[in-house]
Amino acid sequence: MLDRIREGSQSIVIKALLVLIALTFALAGIGGYITNQPEPAVAKVNGEEITRMDFDRAVENERSRQQQQLGDFYATLAADPAFNQRLRSQVLNDLVNQKVVELYARDAGLRVSDEQVKAAIRNIAAFQVAGQFDNQTYQMTLNGLGYTPDGFAELMRRDLARTQLLQAIVETQFALPTEASAVQQLLNQQRSGAYATFELANYLSTVEVTDEEIAQWYDANQSRFNVPEQVKVEFVALDADALAESIEIDETAVREWFEQNRAGYETPDRYRFSHILIEGDDEAARAEAQEVLTKLTEGADFAELAAEYSDDIFTAETGGDLEFLEKGLMDPEFDEAAFALQEVGDISGVVSTSFGYHVIKLTDIEKGSSTSYEEVRDEIVSEMREERVKQAYYELQQKASELAFDVPDTLQAVADETGLTVRTTSWFNRNNAPTALNNPAALQQVFNQDFIAEGLNSDLIETSDTQAVIVRVLDYQAASVKPLDEVRAQVLDNVRTEKAQAAARQDADALAASLRAGETTDVQMAAIDSVDRRNTELPRAVVQSLFEQAVPSDEGVQVAVTELNSGALAVVQLTSATVGEVDEAMQAQLTDQLVNSFTQQGYGAFVEALRAEADVELLLNANTDQASQE
């Protein structure tokens, strides 16, 4: 029986659980195992759905992971709608990749045995106490997260099958010592040559620009002077956190709440049992169980008999130990007999259940405990304050919404009755909205043409779990292009710079051509003597150009023209290259890096090939919530 119970206790929480614990299964979904109700799908892969619950959980898991990794900086990123859109898009893409690999593993016939699933679950640190698998911790974790043991086991089985496939890909990658040496020789290579720069300042003074050139450049580059549509709005902001300061908790109410919920702060006695299971429902099985009971009454060791007789293979090897059990986990007949035992060492009679016949022994009693009021007072106050803030925030939302509807052409009535402040913005567009309105829902509302035309108050717009706004557009400016007269100076600078660059490039190309032809030139070139890729004394573009050029032959010349960060041009000549030295101490590390690189490339190509062959339908586009098809 316990074999079947514990085997069932293993499979769906793994992705959600291990994401929270070790991020082993970072993007996980479990919705279909919790309820039989159909769920909306965000994608289909070869007809198999990825549910919205899977997607939402994976998004939250990724947010938690990034928050742990980035710390306080994450809050800054999360406030940017574009960041959230990219995150959702990446999560959806990862879930599709995960699904195509899973389906390939299944179609390839990869299977995981029950024993492998059991062993993997027993090795999960979250289910262990003092380094040992603890059944109660395991059961409580699953129950607390609302997952079924059977579902957890099935998900674990799929993950292990997929892991087998990925290991087969990963473990085939290797790097030869000669490859690592060749890479070191390239990385540590040194090059020599010379370069000359053509500064724009030397050309700008000679450039002449006509009105016609200014007009032509402006017409060809009008997109640079686009002014996006803009609005001025007034709004009131609702903030649940601001309400917390006004919430007071009466000590009497705290005490009353504690008394009413005292049971939640008391831990009952815990009972640990061992059992011997004889499967079957016939007389032979009962007789065998009775034989075991007789031997026990004659002084036989319970653990030895469990190892010899018990059909529960999972517990037989541990003396029949079931660990600490709570009522309701086992069959009613088992519970009734087990919890009727009074003293440690007491043994039941033969107990019949749907799994067969049991002989049960009480092996330990752990006395319960209770928590005093003083120990939990602060926690209760915090919870009561949170609940009252939620209620006050809900009431504020309702009142503000009603007032905004009743007096639709101003927000002053809302402010007068609620104490909120009406704020008026300056002109803003979608990219520089005030913080309180920098939310997709709020921006969609204030730039909605029908809403703008009405000039009325909006409905309540929730921008987060604890914040909301009500807005009204005061003025609107359509998208436009700045007139030439307004940007003439900027256009003139651009035209002059481009003409100066063209003149500089003409001279740079002429010098490069002379060098390639082996001609003598009077242009002074700065020598470059044995520099490596990490050189910081030369302009970065010069170093990059130097190492991008092919090594010259004995009679050849390598020359290239490159643009510096300042806009100036440089002619870079490569004269020689020296093979880099190989550091034996770095060989092992570099080999590992090469293997990792090859592995990532191989896995990426594998997944890309699977997706190319798969029928992938994205029912939810992470940016627009619109369907798309691959």
Q: Which residue has the higher pLDDT, 490 or 30?
A: 490
Q: Which residue has the higher pLDDT, 14 or 74?
A: 74
CA distance 512 to 598: 39
Range scoring the smallest mean pLDDT among 77-91, 190-204, 281-295: 77-91
CA distance 153 to 33: 11
Average confidence (pLDDT) over 307-321? 89
- Res 16: pLDDT: 36
Q: How much of the chain, in percent, has pLDDT values that exceed 70?
A: 91
What's the gap between Cα 115 and its chain centre?
31
- Res 145: pLDDT: 56
pLDDT at 411 over 50: yes
Average confidence (pLDDT) over 227-251? 90
- Res 13: pLDDT: 33
- Res 626: pLDDT: 44
Range scoring the smallest mean pLDDT among 11-20, 345-354, 519-528, 559-568: 11-20
Average confidence (pLDDT) over 100-119? 85
Average confidence (pLDDT) over 210-234? 94
DSSP assignment letter at 522:
-
pLDDT at 627 over 60: no
CB 427 within 8 Å of CB 417: no
Q: Which residue has the higher pLDDT, 3 or 238?
A: 238
- Res 265: pLDDT: 81
Q: What's the chain's average pLDDT?
A: 85
Give 473's pLDDT tier (boundaries 50, 70, 90). very high
Tens of pLDDT, residues 21-75: 333 333 333 333 333 445 678 899 999 899 888 888 788 888 888 888 888 788 7
Please report where in the chains the tokens 């262990």 appear, as a residue.
Answer: 128
Assessment of whether the complete model's pTM goes beyond 0.75: no
Average confidence (pLDDT) over 515-528? 91
Amino acid at 216: Q
Q: Minimal CA–CA distance to 362: which of 246, 474, 273, 478?
A: 273
pLDDT at 363 over 70: yes
- Res 169: pLDDT: 75
pLDDT at 341 over 70: yes
574 has which bridge partners? 193, 558
Q: Which residue has the higher pLDDT, 28 or 569?
A: 569
Range scoring the smallest mean pLDDT among 136-140, 203-207, 518-522, 530-534: 136-140
Tens of pLDDT, residues 133-144: 777 777 777 776
Run of H or E residues at 369: strand 369-370
Give 420's pLDDT tier (boundaries 50, 70, 90). very high
Q: Which residue has the higher pLDDT, 469 or 19?
A: 469
CA distance 318 to 303: 7
